[in-house]
Chains A and B, each alone.
Chain A
């Protein structure tokens, strides 16, 4: 695991689509490092022989049958859209 003092706050902010002022970067730098450093204490534990797990509860194979359920009414689906046209959600032009 990388050491916490290498956090690139601007990069992380960009991934989260957040705009940070210089002062905010300076303030967040030690805070983030402190948080990650705290979590990294877990790295000190000896986990040899322990299966990695993504969930805290020992449950698996929770499935749904392939049966159609009612959808949202179209008008209800669109009611929070700031802009709509021809039944679609309007977003700034996508450039490929």
Chain B
């Protein structure tokens, strides 16, 4: 029998604020345990939370980028439960009036077709502390407690592990573009709960779902979901049934396991947070914030293809990172052949970034300087190998390509008379190779071209050298 999987994600994203959501403690990662804490985020009785305006603005921006409706009236609620990493015994979250409603992301499937994954809502809440396990006890660090999170909840529209991966990649790209989150997975900026169920093809009603909690890598989500969907199908094929439960992904064993803790029906007893007042967003306010929105990756890809005439592949690579796309566009507008700019950035520049673990922002060569270098090649003032040499110099110390060419005497020799002299020299110095060539050995020609380039110290215009050599050898 064929089965259809329905997967919904709850993605928790850390917002890029300087301070926590309800207090002035910094959100910087990696501080010694319990040094970024205060009475508010330690949950001392009587300490009063104060809403960080930036958390609201960043969530609204995210909602706008993801096509959500911005809720004009929103409020905070208490979600009550006990866990050692949550000092107040309730989490301040949003229940029935989240900041954003609806929306969705279009993902590209393996066959190139598009599919929209719908969003249910986005709400804001505070993060909990971090726990660490000792042999006979656990330790709690509250530095992370109170970090502002937005929870992005999807509809159960995702049908496979690949689609979940595509959704997460697209989401990460958009959020990074908007500058609303650092989306640094290593630092736990993006974690998700995965709800999945399967149903026989033809059955309308969704199957019983299981929940995988706190997944923090995309690869983990993909592997866990592949396993979980297969597990559920095989369970049903055996005539078994799926228990509604929370499961844990064991990355080493490559399996999902039912959590050991007793599964209780959740009874969070949500009620309005008395210490925080309602949030009312006017259309004027939202419009004002919307001015800070960047062009989104999907749109930018299409525009870059039409504006610069670059292939879809190039546009995809260059638009994946906002700073890289900005760098490309700044360069492309200054060169005669934008495809050359794309080639340079995708190969030479990006290889350097990978090699030296740099980001595009740390590159010393400005787009204007790179454009000048590219134009020197296009105008045949220098050849490509020389240009690569100059690039290395510029990469190390910055500088102007034209000046380096002048200072080092690297300008390409395109003067036929001068090259002819060198060609004659090469022919005179290699009578045996010339004889081989005349005897039909094609490879000898390449050798002679190499000799011409060497004698010219790499400056000869290769096309011209070829042409003259051919002519001389008859």
Complex Cα spacing A77 to B26, Å: 16
Binds B, one of A24-32, A34-42, A82-90: A82-90
When distances are taken between beta carbons in the complex, the residues of chain B under 8 Å from A93 are: 133-134, 136-138
Kindly state whether residue B82 has any CB partner on chain A within 8 Å.
yes
When distances are taken between beta carbons in the complex, the residues of chain A under 8 Å from B267 are: 15
Q: Please, what's the 1-or-0 string for B247-290, where 1 marks a CB less than 8 Å from any CB in chain A?
A: 01000000000011100000101001110111110000000000
Can you name the residue of chain B whose Cβ is closest to the Cβ of A91?
Answer: B84
B interface: dominant SS: loop
Kindly state whether residue B141 has any CB partner on chain A within 8 Å.
yes
Q: In the complex, what's the smallest C-beta–C-beta distance from A59 to chain B, in angstroms?
A: 5
Q: In the complex, what's the smallest C-beta–C-beta distance from A94 to chain B, in angstroms?
A: 4
When distances are taken between beta carbons in the complex, the residues of chain B under 8 Å from A68 are: 18-19, 24-26
- Decide: A64 and B280 in contact? CB cutoff 8 A: no
Given that A68-B19, A71-B25, A95-B261 are contacting pairs, would A89 and B278 also be in contact in the complex, using a CB cutoff of 8 Å? no
Kindly state whether residue B131 has any CB partner on chain A within 8 Å.
yes
Count chain A CB atoms within 10 A of each CB in B24, B39, B134 and give the residue with the most: B24
- Decide: B34 and A78 in contact? CB cutoff 8 A: yes
Interface residues of A in 54-80 (CB under 8 A from B): 54-55, 59-72, 74, 77-78
Q: In the complex, what's the smallest C-beta–C-beta distance from B84 to chain A, in angstroms?
A: 4
When distances are taken between beta carbons in the complex, the residues of chain B under 8 Å from A19 are: none
Q: In the complex, what's the smallest C-beta–C-beta distance from A77 to chain B, in angstroms?
A: 5
Task: Choose one: A60, A66, A83, A91; the contact of B53 (CB below 8 Å).
Answer: A66
Kindly state whether residue B35 has any CB partner on chain A within 8 Å.
yes
- Decide: A66 and B54 in contact? CB cutoff 8 A: yes
Can you name the residue of chain A whose Cβ is closest to the Cβ of B15?
Answer: A66
Can you name the residue of chain B whose Cβ is closest to the Cβ of A63?
Answer: B53
Given that A71-B25, A74-B34, A87-B33 are contacting pairs, would A94 and B138 also be in contact in the complex, using a CB cutoff of 8 Å? yes
Q: In the complex, what's the smallest C-beta–C-beta distance from A68 to chain B, in angstroms?
A: 5
A interface: dominant SS: loop
Q: Please, what's the 1-or-0 string for B53-81, where 1 marks a CB less than 8 Å from any CB in chain A?
A: 11110000000000000000001000010
Given that A87-B32, A96-B260 are contacting pairs, would A64 and B277 also be in contact in the complex, using a CB cutoff of 8 Å? no
Q: How many residues of A contact B (CB 8 A)?
A: 34
Q: How many residues of B contact A (CB 8 A)?
A: 52
Q: In the complex, what's the smallest C-beta–C-beta distance from A17 to chain B, in angstroms?
A: 6
Q: In the complex, what's the smallest C-beta–C-beta distance from B276 to chain A, in angstroms?
A: 8
Task: Choose one: B75, B141, B269; the contact of A15 (CB below 8 Å).
Answer: B269
Kindly state whether residue B294 has any CB partner on chain A within 8 Å.
no
Complex Cα spacing A44 to B260, Å: 46
Complex Cα spacing A91 to B133, Å: 10
Complex Cα spacing A94 to B273, Å: 28
Q: In the complex, what's the smallest C-beta–C-beta distance from B128 to chain A, in angstroms?
A: 12
Kindly state whether residue A92 has any CB partner on chain B within 8 Å.
yes
Complex Cα spacing A86 to B137, Å: 13
A-B contact pairs, 29 of them (CB 8 A): A54-B75, A54-B272, A54-B273, A55-B277, A60-B279, A63-B50, A63-B51, A63-B56, A64-B51, A64-B53, A72-B37, A77-B34, A85-B134, A87-B32, A87-B33, A87-B34, A88-B33, A88-B140, A89-B139, A89-B140, A90-B137, A90-B139, A91-B140, A92-B84, A92-B137, A93-B134, A93-B136, A93-B138, A96-B259
Q: Which 8 A-B pairs have the closest CB atoms?
A: A69-B24, A88-B139, A54-B272, A63-B53, A66-B54, A87-B33, A64-B50, A91-B84
Sample of 16 further A-B pairs with CB below 8 A, known A86-B33, A91-B84: A15-B267, A15-B269, A54-B274, A55-B272, A59-B277, A60-B277, A62-B276, A68-B26, A71-B35, A74-B34, A78-B34, A85-B137, A87-B33, A87-B141, A93-B136, A96-B248
Residues of B within 8 A of A (CB): 17-19, 23-26, 32-39, 42, 50-56, 75, 80, 82, 84, 131-134, 136-142, 248, 259-261, 267, 269, 272-274, 276-280
